[in-house]
Amino acid sequence: MSEAPVLEVSGLVKHFPVARGVLRRKLIGVVRAVEDVTFEIARGETLALVGESGCGKSTTGRLVLRLMNPTSGSIRFKGEEIAGLDKDAMRRMRRHLQIIFQDPYASLNPRMTVGDILSEPLNVHKIGDTASRASRVRELLDVVGLQAEHAARYPHQFSGGQRQRIGIARALAANPDLMVCDEPVSALDVSIQAQIVNLLQNLQQRFGLSYLFIAHDLAVVKHISDRVAVMYLGKLVEIADKKTIYARPLHPYTQALMAAIPKTDPGLRTKREMLQGDVPNPFNPPSGCRFHTRCPHAQARCSAEEPALREAAKGHRVACHFFETLPPPVIIARSGPPQGKFAERLAAFEAAKQRQAAKI
């Protein structure tokens, strides 16, 4: 892509100080929530940020929007550094960077009507006059699939999916370039999830938005993203385009994640290395490679030396000392031919699939 990336993040670090004591507060350490994270997002692109809960992906999203201040590192929006902007300058910048929240029940002010919520960004950034704001609100409601008369209602009069649409409309109101989607569908049930994901994709095509899509549902990520970045304990362990990472994950952690996706063919037997134990405490992360305590391929070097993010192919970076020599991830073996009723049903399903394919 010839254009400059919409967002360039490099060396982003967030440490939360932990202090103890009543009168004289002493610093007893820091929680290393985000450590040296580097990525970029091109115009119109969706970068998915995945990882276990507590790995720092939501924190990264909030740092990008300066809802939290980074400890160090650089955040460049369309080439302009925003990590050091003061409060007022950042406030003006906010119209270009927006966020969709996870919980549609908590992210709308219950004391404001939907119309007020949607015109808030326009008021704050002094876009248009009263009449044009009202028409913009109607337009936004239409764009996200709600009706104009919904503007006079309060959030508690809507269902979860509708509220998430309102949240999306609010984020769209000031025509942003980048949207951080912080697990926007994980609080919704599956049928609504599909609607919201499709809505997000439509909006991206219509308005040329870039998404930083934070999620832990790999099926949704596979559907919506262009590239995927995998985080573990505050660090980026692998970043690549979607096809590559789903077809050939190189980092052992990514491999474990991919192996955990449910397969649609019950006959398939994969040799799965289940990860043991929990994510270590980010207050006291393991030495060397942070994943070595749970890695099935860990060696002596892993606990001593921290692996750098190295280029494996163009646009595919991995933070592992041994990714070249690791065995390929999964050996797929069929557990013998299917038997009995199951074989019949499978045959019927295959036949239906063939017919469908023939029609198209």
Partner 1 sequence: MSTEALDGGLVGSASGAENGWLARNGLLRRLLRDRVAALAAAVLGIIVLAAVFAPWIAPYDPYFTDLTKVMQAPSALHWFGTDNTGRDILSRVLYGTRNTLVLGLVGVIVGGAIGGVLGIFAAYYRRLGGWIMRLVDIMLAFPAILIGLALAAIFGAGLFAVIIALVIATVPDVARVARGAAVSVMGQEFMEAGRAVGVSDSALIWRYLTLNCISTIFVFLTLRFGQIILIGSVLGFLGMGAQPPAAELGMMAAQGRDFLFMAPHIATIPSFAIFVIVLCANLLGDAFRDVLDPRLQT
Contact residues toward partner 1 (CB under 8 A) are 62, 65, 67, 91-92, 94-95, 97-99, 101-103, 106-113, 120-121, 124-125, 149-150, 152-154, 156-157, 159, 167, 170, 174
User: Coil, strand, or helix at residue 257?
Assistant: helix
Q: Tell the smallest beta-carbon distance from residue 350 to partner 1 (Å).
A: 36
Q: Tell the smallest beta-carbon distance from residue 43 to partner 1 (Å).
A: 21
Decide whether 25 or 334 has the Cβ nearer to partner 1. 25
The Cα-based distances of 49 to 144, 181, 191, 241 in angstroms read: 24, 10, 23, 12
Q: Tell the smallest beta-carbon distance from residue 22 to partner 1 (Å).
A: 10
Decide whether 64 or 258 has the Cβ nearer to partner 1. 64
Whole-number Å distance between alpha carbons of 113 and 106: 15
Decide whether 71 or 195 has the Cβ nearer to partner 1. 195
CB 138 within 8 A of CB 147: no
Residue 252: which H helix or E strand, with range? helix 252-259
Q: Tell the smallest beta-carbon distance from residue 218 to partner 1 (Å).
A: 24
Q: Tell the smallest beta-carbon distance from residue 126 to partner 1 (Å).
A: 11
The Cα-based distances of 359 to 252, 346, 350, 351 in angstroms read: 41, 20, 14, 13
| Token pair listed for 196 | 């919201």
Closest C-alpha to 156, from 166, 168, 147, 170:
166
Decide whether 154 or 322 has the Cβ nearer to partner 1. 154
Decide whether 2 or 147 has the Cβ nearer to partner 1. 147
| Token pair listed for 274 | 């289940």
Residues written for the chain: 360
